[in-house]
Amino acid sequence: MEAKILSGRDIASEIRLGLKNDVEKLKGNGVQPGLAVIIVGDEPASRIYVNNKKKACDEIGIRSFEYALPAETSEEEIIELIKTLNCDKNIHGILVQLPLPPHINDEKVLLTIDPDKDVDAFHPVNVGKIMIGNYRFLPCTPAGVIEMIHRTGIDLKGSECVVVGRSNIVGKPMAMLLLHEHATVTVCHSRTKDLKTVCKRADVLVVAVGKPKLIKADFIKPGAVVIDVGTNRMENGKLCGDVDFEEAKGVASYITPVPGGVGPMTIAMLMKNTVKAAEI
Ligand code: NDP
């Protein structure tokens, strides 16, 4: 039997509808959520992400403030801007679109964001909170993935979950969220020996690597839930995931497409965090 498609597009649209109502309520209390997005340079992929975030803000009723800075902007200038935004009462969330140009230290910049306005949840204070399970903001991509897994109805308690990728923004927080849901979690990376065998024991397989079609049908346990975070731009301009979708859908019970899977969920979760920041 073919896997059911977990449409991030549909789930995200439901979530945005709910958030629109929350924003109406906030507005009734005299608060309109505001999100500041800082983009440095003219990387085309970053521009697409920023435009999509702005579109989502407009739909929900969040005010978005874009700061598009030239690639040669200094680290000090970005830090000064963030300090100003930290004090601005109309701004509830601050997001710095990554990657930043090489002369800028990402870590230093992210450290400047007020943790209460850190809607990406990248600040070490928020990362620490995720670690101990007492969080205000969930990191957007892992939060979107968890939401999609819940929609399958699978009981995560005691289930075998394998996360491929250990980045600070996806793999590590993803593993932590699954652990908080009482799953047995294995994290794989570039040095993992026999990736196929490890993946094959997963009831839930989350892949966040950035290598097109790395995961083939024979990596997947029959009936597993497969979540593909990978977003790879192919030579023909099309997007492709880390999972070989055509092969995997013959083995998995649920699978996310690329595009239209995790991507829209990430943006919906960013909106959720911004509304939450305004509520706080
Ligand atoms: P990183 O490059 O930061 O991390 C990639 C991870 O994959 C690393 O931990 C690396 O291991 C591991 N890896 C590399 N090669 C292999 C391999 N052959 N086998 C097993 N593991 C491997 O990427 P990100 O986490 O930032 O992003 C991953 C993917 O997800 C990208 O395609 C990105 O575009 C996409 N993405 C999508 C989002 C969305 O909203 N849909 C949001 C964020 C990311 P090691 O640590 O050993 O180097």
30-116 is classed in which CATH architecture? 3-Layer(aba) Sandwich (3.40)
Global pTM value? 0.97
Name the residue among 63, 76, 78 with its Cα closest to residue 274: 63
* Residue of 231, 240, 256, 273 to mutate, ligand 1, most atoms within 8 A of C-beta: 231
What CATH fold (topology level) applies to the domain 139-263?
Rossmann fold (3.40.50)
Question: Which residues, in sequence order, are CB contacts of 65 under 8 Å at separation 6+?
Answer: 34, 35, 36, 37, 90, 91
Token pair for residue 266? Answer: 């990430």
Q: What 3-state DSSP class applies to 221?
A: coil
Name the residue among 14, 11, 169, 27 with its Cα closest to residue 95: 169
Tell how far the Cα of 164 is from the centroid of ligand 1, in angstroms.
Answer: 8
Give the DSSP letter string of 142-158.
HHHHHHHHHHHT---TT
Any idea where the domains of the chain sit in the sequence?
30-116, 139-263
User: Is residue 79 a contact partner of residue 57, using CB atoms and an 8 Å limit?
Assistant: no
Residue minimizing CA distance to atom 15 of ligand 1: 190
Q: Over the stretch 9-66, which tens digit does the pLDDT of each residue have?
A: 999 999 999 999 999 999 999 999 999 999 999 999 899 999 999 999 999 999 999 9
Q: Over the stretch 88-138, which tens digit does the pLDDT of each residue have?
A: 999 999 999 999 999 999 999 999 999 999 999 999 999 999 999 988 899
Tell how far the Cα of 209 is from the centroid of ligand 1, in angstroms.
Answer: 3
DSSP secondary structure code for residue 2 in this structure: P
> How many helices (DSSP H) and strands (DSSP E) are in the chain?
10, 11
User: Is residue 115 a contact partner of residue 137, using CB atoms and an 8 Å limit?
Assistant: no
* Residue of 190, 195, 239, 271 to mutate, ligand 1, most atoms within 8 A of C-beta: 190
Domains 30-116 and 139-263 share a fold: yes
